[in-house]
Chains A and B, each alone.
Chain A
Amino acid sequence: MTTINSSSRPRTGRVLTYALVVALALAIAVPVAWVLLASLKQKSEFFGSPWTLPKGLHFQNYVDAFVTAHMGQYFLTSVFVTVLGLVFVLAVSVPAAYVIARYEFRGRRVVETALLAGLFVNVNYIVVPIFLMLVDWDRALVDVFPGGFFIDNPSVLSLVYAATSIPFTIYLLTAYFRSIPVEYEEAAALDGASRFRIMTQVMLPMARPAVTTVILFNFLAYWNDFIIALTLLPGEGKTLQVGLLNLFTAQKAAADYGRLYAGMVIVIVPVLLVYAVIQRRLIEGMASGGVKG
């Protein structure tokens, strides 16, 4: 630590900057903590000063949110969609990234350029055509699946999640695969390992840091998504985010906040827990180029 000089001006400056950092941290922590606390309040407690603490632990809000507002069921849908999406994206991206990084083939440059361009295509623009396309497919298959197959299908949602994160995932994995020395694969090949074995049992374990980063970022993207889920699951089955939005609209109209706050906590807490556990990795991953909005 370098103390530049001890005149009073930098010191007041330091106090001021310190105060600013604290103020900003409070501006972020207070609303979040406030929601957590408010989720335990009874209906009558929502009126008057927002700074009053809840009188008791009113867990009925949670029961209402989980059961009556179906947040428990939506939670399971979200878990399913997120996990399956991660499985899909890894299953298709790891092999693709590997051959792009290691094999020379015709059209590789085209593939790489297309994927790079894909980084700039935001899903918000293309949800409408995706939705219309799936509606079309459903219409074409109406004889086989009268109830429709592609719309309102959580697995299809996972597939769309996976597809839209392919450019980012392959981009990150390819860069990492390229940084691993070829000698390991050569040695494995001398021992008679097949190409598939080299990929899955030599390279994949070595790429674990990159795979973890990819899982983290995609987990946050899938778990937090709401636009694609809103569009592709218009029926009863919803994800947590869409469920929260509905709860939000309904409870605001009814001026009944308890269930809404409990619902918010149900959405916030898992992701905060994950963040607390992996924050170092997440921030490192971000700094090393795993940038995604």
Chain B
Amino acid sequence: MTTLSSPPPGSTNRTSEPAPPTGRSRRRRGARAPARRRGNTGFVLACLLPALVLFAVFMIVPTLNVFRMSLYTWSGFSPDMRFVGLDNFSRLLDDQQFVRAFQNTVALLVVVTVVTMGMGLFLAAIMTRQRLRARNLYRFILYIPNVLSVVVIAAVFSAVYDQENGLLNGTLRLLSLDGLQQVWLGDQKIVVYSVATAMVWQSLGYYMVLYMASMSSIPEELYEASALDGASPTRQFFAITLPLIWQSLRTTLTFFIMSAVNLSFVLVRAMTGGGPDGSSDVLLNYMYKQAYTNSSYGYGMAIGVVIFAFSFLVSLLVSRATRREPLQF
């Protein structure tokens, strides 16, 4: 990172102000960035303070509060707030509903990540390598779900999954495949996968576009040379494309895990409310239930801490496991 922090010249070098002890490093850089230190303080503060105050009040303080509140039992609106240490966390282990939510979150993460990234990569490769007709139209359509809100997606999918009048069962009837009809959101065994489908539907285009961007920077000569050597498109994909975009794949993978935890929550909340009978609860959903419905704010926040630690750990592990020597082209 280069600092181009030289204030405009032409201002007089007023350094009459005694440098504070911590200002030593600043003085060292002062060779490149002289002048107007005194007047700048006011300007810098005026520019910085509003943003920092907002950031501190609505992000830092609440984040710290999540951790603090997880150590208490508290119903939220009564002053009765009791410190219980790590009790909330040990209670979690015996909470079947929590275990269920945890399993669902993991299942959704694995299924959705594998399918979305696999299909996203595949589509991106086709779209960049094979010069499809109307390529831009497909890109436009595939990206649409990404600009829709989660409530809309939940509503669309509820309409599609509707048992009697939904698009999916209706189509199956039309094709005389009545036997395949399902209660898509009401069956404990398949509800998680119904939600997973909606998640893939939502994020596929986004990842496709991301991968297209990094694939389009791979020089064409590599493909031409390998084609002369007789490499098939499939082989080119695994030997050239995949290794060369590996770094951006890693980044998106970490990012995907973080966002999938959140997306699953909002979708589940709007589509099934965690039902039937808690069978589609995910971690964040369960946290909300505990906090708002059950008024167990402390317990809910303990779940919040677990989610935070969980997604952080998974990202870290994934990032470790996928580390490769960066390739240059």
Do these two chains interact? yes
Interface residues of A, Cβ cutoff 8 Å to B = 1-2, 4, 10, 13-14, 17-18, 20-22, 24-25, 27-32, 34-35, 38, 46-51, 88, 91-93, 95-96, 98-106, 111, 114-115, 118, 120-122, 124-126, 128-130, 132-133, 135, 159-160, 162-164, 166-167, 170, 178, 182, 185-186, 188-190, 195-196, 198-199, 220, 223-227, 241-242, 244-245, 248, 252, 257, 260-261, 264, 267-268, 271-272, 274-276, 279, 282-283, 286-287, 291, 293
Q: Which residue of A lies closest to B202 (CB)?
A: A28
Does residue B268 face the partner (Cβ distance < 8 Å to A)? no
The 10 A-B residue pairs with the shortest CB-CB distance in the complex, in nearest-first order: A189-B8, A293-B259, A287-B213, A95-B47, A224-B149, A163-B58, A50-B170, A96-B51, A129-B62, A126-B62
Can you name 18 A-B residue pairings with CB atoms under 8 Å?
A1-B131, A4-B227, A18-B132, A35-B156, A35-B159, A51-B171, A106-B26, A125-B63, A129-B62, A129-B63, A159-B58, A162-B54, A189-B11, A190-B8, A227-B266, A244-B151, A257-B165, A268-B152
Does residue B52 face the partner (Cβ distance < 8 Å to A)? yes
Q: In the complex, are the beta carbons of B149 and A24 less than 8 A apart?
A: no
Q: In the complex, are the beta carbons of A32 and B62 less than 8 A apart?
A: no
Q: In the complex, are the beta carbons of A27 and B170 less than 8 A apart?
A: no
Known: A105-B41, A135-B77, A163-B54. A226 touches B156 (CB 8 A): no
Which residues of A have CB within 8 Å of B158?
248, 252
Given contacts A31-B157, A122-B258, A271-B147, 6 further A-B contacts (CB under 8 A): A18-B132, A93-B51, A103-B40, A114-B55, A132-B65, A260-B155
Q: In the complex, are the beta carbons of A178 and B152 less than 8 A apart?
A: no
Known: A120-B258, A241-B151. A286 touches B209 (CB 8 A): yes
The complex places the Cα of A105 from the Cα of B54 at a distance, in Å, of: 20
Greatest chain A CB density within 10 A among B123, B148, B255, B258 is at: B148
Q: In the complex, are the beta carbons of B210 and A51 less than 8 A apart?
A: no
The complex places the Cα of A128 from the Cα of B57 at a distance, in Å, of: 14
Does residue B108 face the partner (Cβ distance < 8 Å to A)? no
Q: Which residue of B lies closest to A3 (CB)?
A: B227
Which residues of B have CB within 8 Å of A102?
4-5, 7
Q: In the complex, are the beta carbons of A92 and B132 less than 8 A apart?
A: no
The complex places the Cα of A1 from the Cα of B5 at a distance, in Å, of: 47
Q: How many A-B residue pairs have CB under 8 A?
A: 279
Known: A166-B54, A224-B148, A283-B143. A118 touches B59 (CB 8 A): yes
Q: Which residue of B lies closest to A163 (CB)?
A: B58
Q: In the complex, are the beta carbons of B156 and A25 less than 8 A apart?
A: no
Q: In the complex, are the beta carbons of B224 and A2 less than 8 A apart?
A: yes
Which residues of A have CB within 8 Å of B10?
189-190
The stretch of B238-246, B299-307, B321-329 in contact with A is: B299-307
Known: A50-B170, A104-B5. A31 touches B51 (CB 8 A): no
The complex places the Cα of A114 from the Cα of B22 at a distance, in Å, of: 19
Q: In the complex, are the beta carbons of B40 and A105 less than 8 A apart?
A: yes
Known: A241-B149, A260-B155. A103 touches B58 (CB 8 A): no
Does residue B167 face the partner (Cβ distance < 8 Å to A)? yes
Known: A99-B43, A105-B40, A244-B155. A21 touches B126 (CB 8 A): yes
Q: In the complex, are the beta carbons of B297 and A128 less than 8 A apart?
A: yes
Contact of B170 among A51, A227, A257, A276 (CB under 8 A): A51
Known: A28-B141, A121-B63. A92 touches B50 (CB 8 A): yes
Q: In the complex, are the beta carbons of A124 and B262 less than 8 A apart?
A: yes
Q: In the complex, are the beta carbons of A164 and B59 less than 8 A apart?
A: yes
The proximity string for B residues 188-222 relative to A, scoring 1 for CB distances below 8 Å and 0 otherwise, is 00000000000001001110011011000000000
- For chain B, the count of residues having a C-beta within 8 Å of the partner chain is 112
Which residues of B have CB within 8 Å of A88?
54
The complex places the Cα of A95 from the Cα of B143 at a distance, in Å, of: 33
Q: In the complex, are the beta carbons of A98 and B145 less than 8 A apart?
A: no
Does residue B14 face the partner (Cβ distance < 8 Å to A)? no
Q: In the complex, are the beta carbons of A264 and B155 less than 8 A apart?
A: yes
CB distance from B181 to the nearest CB of A (A): 13
Q: In the complex, are the beta carbons of B51 and A166 less than 8 A apart?
A: yes
Which residues of B have CB within 8 Å of A199?
47
Does residue B118 face the partner (Cβ distance < 8 Å to A)? no
Q: In the complex, are the beta carbons of A10 and B148 less than 8 A apart?
A: no
Contact of B301 among A46, A92, A128, A287 (CB under 8 A): A128
Contact of B233 among A13, A20, A121, A286 (CB under 8 A): A13
Does residue B313 face the partner (Cβ distance < 8 Å to A)? no
Contact of B171 among A1, A22, A50, A114 (CB under 8 A): A50
The complex places the Cα of A260 from the Cα of B155 at a distance, in Å, of: 9
Q: In the complex, are the beta carbons of B164 and A47 less than 8 A apart?
A: yes
Known: A35-B159, A226-B150, A267-B149. A128 touches B210 (CB 8 A): no
Does residue B180 face the partner (Cβ distance < 8 Å to A)? no
Contact of B144 among A32, A38, A124, A227 (CB under 8 A): A32
The proximity string for B residues 85-117 relative to A, scoring 1 for CB distances below 8 Å and 0 otherwise, is 000000000000000000000000000000000
Contact of B138 among A25, A129, A225, A291 (CB under 8 A): A25
Does residue B6 face the partner (Cβ distance < 8 Å to A)? yes
